[in-house]
């Protein structure tokens, strides 16, 4: 049931994209606001028809402008999960799922699948944001979709709830054999959930590939948004210290962060934003910053303005630093050089420490 998408249009925004999503694969569409990501989802679902395009599922055309084929939305077996949940407020959780075509037994099974067993009779206002989003996922699956579309589904919930929903989607994927397309602005969300990433900018695909490659490709940073650019390092909780800090052991040494919840020995992922990293050619001393991470410069990408993105190899992982081109020249930075990344302890927010398999929430 591979999904193949090709779309060209001049309005409402310029669009010229082509990509494929295999059965059981989750592809994330990322890019700045107005890049065309949600418009692409609308073209897949039938809510928007591009000037030229072709959308096929397992070879069956849903849209083929050249052949005059344009299946209406209700004839496309597509499930959609929106940012706003879009639940019927006067209907119970069970009734919301049944509204998508499931009988009572099937709807109850789907609610159980998303860990909402026992909450079938609740109205949306009696559910938390995370629970409402789970109802929305169950309703999308009730259509027995050939394609599942997730349009920024986690942006309206808090970080703790989002962590639980990430785990839910990761767990559900064992039950999903259809192509899944996720639209997101969150690079960590794309890393956690996507098999592949398609970077959209000004209506065009500027980079496509496995998530691990695209997220650390400096050439794709402009399309993904430089302000949110960063990297994720793996570390293990080593000690909760008396002054409120937690020492983590990483591949290249210790990391000190504000108290991290979790037992000693637990493995966590620490997201470090590129604009929070300072570089030093020499081992720095007498600094207030506690974290000095040795690495080797892999790449330096000048920006359109005064900035530059430096990629460091840190053990088997990578770290990004956003500095000025003036600093690159003054320090004589070049690929292959050893360098030290300096990160303030207080620059790492609590929600930037996570786990790839968090508990239910």
What range does the domain containing 299 cover? Answer: 230-354
Share of the chain above pLDDT 90, in %: 68
pLDDT of residue 354: 80
Does 43 reside within a domain? yes
pLDDT at residue 1, as a whole number: 73
The structure tokens 């930075």 sit at: 333
Q: Indicate whether 202 and 238 sit together in one domain.
A: no
Specify whether 160 is located in the same domain as 179. yes
38: left (phi over 0), alpha (psi -120 to 50) or beta: alpha
Asked whether residue 356 carries a pLDDT value surpassing 80, the answer given is no
Residues 244 and 342 in one domain: yes
User: What are 206-257's pLDDT values in tens digits?
Assistant: 889 988 778 766 666 665 655 667 888 999 999 999 999 999 999 889 999 9
Q: What is the CATH number of the domain that holds 252?
A: 2.40.50.100
3-state SS class at 276: helix
Report pLDDT for 84: 84
- Is residue 158 included in any domain, yes or no? yes
CA-CA distance, 314 to 294, in Å (whole number)? 7
Q: What distance in Å separates the CA atoms of residue 159 and residue 155, rounded to the nearest whole number?
A: 9
Token pair, residue 249, equals 């052991």
> Domain holding 38: CATH number?
3.40.50.300
One domain for residues 79 and 205: yes
Residue 275 in this model has a pLDDT that exceeds 70: yes
Distance CA 9, CA 73 (A): 19
* Mean of the per-residue pLDDT values of the chain: 90
C-alpha span between 100 and 135 (Å, rounded): 11
Write the pLDDT tens digit of every residue in 134-193.
999 999 999 999 999 999 988 877 777 787 888 888 888 888 899 999 998 877 788 889
On whether residue 361 sits in a domain, the answer given is: no
The total of structural domains in the chain comes to: 2
Summarize pLDDT for 72-88 with one digit per residue, the tens: 999 999 999 988 888 99
**CA dist., res. 255 & res. 51, Å (int):** 52
pLDDT at 120 (0 to 100): 97
In contact, 337 and 272? CB cutoff 8 Å: no
Going by pLDDT thresholds of 50, 70 and 90, the confidence category of residue 102 is: very high
Backbone angles phi, psi at 288, to 5 degrees: -75, -25
pLDDT of 198 strictly over 80 = yes
Answer yes or no: do 166 and 209 share one domain: yes
Residue 251: other Cβ atoms inside 10 A: 13
Both 252 and 201 in a single domain?
no
CA distance 299 to 57: 39
Whether residue 361 has pLDDT greater than 60? no
Domain assignment present for residue 360? The answer is no
- State how far the Cα of 72 lies from the Cα of 224, in Å rounded to an integer: 32
Q: Which two tokens stand for residue 51?
A: 């000037």
- Two tokens, residue 355: 């786990």
Among candidate residues 174, 195, 226, the one where a domain is terminated = 226
- For residue 100, give both structure tokens: 């998508």
């Amino acid at each position: 049931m591979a999904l193949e998408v090709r779309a060209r249009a001049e309005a409402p925004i310029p669009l010229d994209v082509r990509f494929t999503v295999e059965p059981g694969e989750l592809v994330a569409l990322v890019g700045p606001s107005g890049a065309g990501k949600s418009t692409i989802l609308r073209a897949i679902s039938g809510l928007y028809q591009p000037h030229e395009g072709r959308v096929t599922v397992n070879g069956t055309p849903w849209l083929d402008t050249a052949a005059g084929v344009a299946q209406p939305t209700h004839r496309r077996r597509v499930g959609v999960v929106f940012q706003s949940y879009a639940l019927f407020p006067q209907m119970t959780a069970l009734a919301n799922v049944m509204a998508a075509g499931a009988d009572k037994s099937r709807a109850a099974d789907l609610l159980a699948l998303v860990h909402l067993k026992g909450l079938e009779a609740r109205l949306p206002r009696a559910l938390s944001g995370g629970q409402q989003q789970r109802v929305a996922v169950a309703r999308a699956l009730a259509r027995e979709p050939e394609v599942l579309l997730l349009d920024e589904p986690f942006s309206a919930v808090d970080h703790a709830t989002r962590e639980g929903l990430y785990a839910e989607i990761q767990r559900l994927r064992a039950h999903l054999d259809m192509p899944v397309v996720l639209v997101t602005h969150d690079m960590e969300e794309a890393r956690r959930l996507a098999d592949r990433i398609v970077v959209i900018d000004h209506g065009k695909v500027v980079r496509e590939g496995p998530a691990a490659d695209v997220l650390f490709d400096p050439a794709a940073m402009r399309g993904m948004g430089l302000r949110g650019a960063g990297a994720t390092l793996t570390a293990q909780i080593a000690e909760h210290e008396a002054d409120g800090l937690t020492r983590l052991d990483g591949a290249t040494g210790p990391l000190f962060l504000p108290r991290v919840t979790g037992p000693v020995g637990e493995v966590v992922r620490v997201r470090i934003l590129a604009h929070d990293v300072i570089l030093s050619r020499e081992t720095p001393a007498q600094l207030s910053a506690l974290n000095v991470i040795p690495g080797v410069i892999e790449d330096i990408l000048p920006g359109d303005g005064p900035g530059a993105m430096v990629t460091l190899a840190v053990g088997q992982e990578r770290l990004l630093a956003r500095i000025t081109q003036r600093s690159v020249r003054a320090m004589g930075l070049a690929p292959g050089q050893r360098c030290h990344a300096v990160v303030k302890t207080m620059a790492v927010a609590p929600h930037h420490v996570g786990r790839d398999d968090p508990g239910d929430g």
